[in-house]
Amino acid sequence: MAKGRILYVSQEIMPFSEESATAYMGRYLPAKIQEMGRDIRVFMPKFNNVSERKHQLHEVIRLSGMNLIVNNCDHQLLIKVGSIPTARMQVYFIDNEEYFMGHPAPTEADGTLDDRSDERLLFFGRGTLEAVRKLAWQPHLVNFMGWFSSMIPFYLRRINKENAFFSGTKLVITLMDDNFKGDIGGELERKMKTDGATAKDLRLYGETNYLGLMKSAITYSQGVIIGSPNANPELVAFAKENKRNVLDYIDDRDEFYTRINKFYDTITGKIEN
């Protein structure tokens, strides 16, 4: 079995987030893959329901402090880190006073979006990859899950135009049951354009509801994991119709994680460590 470096990006991870299918997968999949011998890094947003005191988070000074431009304005990127001792696993948090400290979750309590969700989405996607680049830790594969991570493919391509750090990095999206209501807003296209989006990018991200964002992320990915029995069937069909490598969901978690580990090898091919 090839080893290799896997970057996990999830919008929720237990115990930092309330229990959900996505938070459970975000917690146990990376830990299991690490046990199987791979090198991992794990990132999530620092929503304000993540207690810094309870989870003993601290800022990573050497990674923090850069400014990211979103909607033609500078926004400071803060990186914090916490650990899950029982899993011997660290989790890095993407934070910003304006975008995350006033928000407890990706959506409002009723499942709708706030009026700055588009900017928060862009900041998290780019901030995660910029932090990984500052770590000087080049992943062979990025496994992202949850709609809040759906801009990872766009920014990976954008960063590679300026710097080939992620050259050869493969993308795998895990589809969960995480639908949001409504549309992220008509300003996303304009804000992506100011951040280097090409005409092809803008065509893919023309639909900014849940299905549109996820279909765009699937299009840019080499592999698709069906991470929940309740994953949107239209997205599952879309992945298969577009001939993506698809790993179907099974109930046995240990066996499922073992299959995911083998699936990564299918996507990356032979890895020279």
Band (242; pLDDT cuts 50, 70, 90)? very high
Given pLDDT bands bounded at 50, 70 and 90, which one contains residue 273? low
* Tens digits of residue pLDDT in 9-24: 999 999 998 899 999 9
Residue 60 CA to residue 62 CA, distance in Å, equals 6
pTM score of the predicted model: 0.93
CB of 195 within 8 A of CB of 69? yes
pLDDT band at 66, cuts 50/70/90?
confident
* pLDDT at 50 exceeding the cut of 60: yes
For residues 33 and 6, is the Cβ–Cβ distance under 8 A? yes
Beta strands (DSSP E) in 140-255 are 141-145, 170-175, 223-226, 245-247
Q: Report how far Cα 123 is from the mean position of its chain's Cα atoms.
A: 12
The answer to whether the peptide bond before residue 15 is cis (omega within 30 degrees of 0) is: yes
82 or 159, higher pLDDT: 82
Per-residue pLDDT band for 272 (boundaries 50, 70, 90) equals low
CA atoms within 13 A on the CB side of 24: 10
pLDDT at 98 over 70: yes
- At residue 1, the pLDDT reads 44
Taking only the tens place, the pLDDT of each residue in 33-44 is: 999 999 999 999
pLDDT value of residue 92: 96
Number of H helices, E strands in the chain: 8, 11
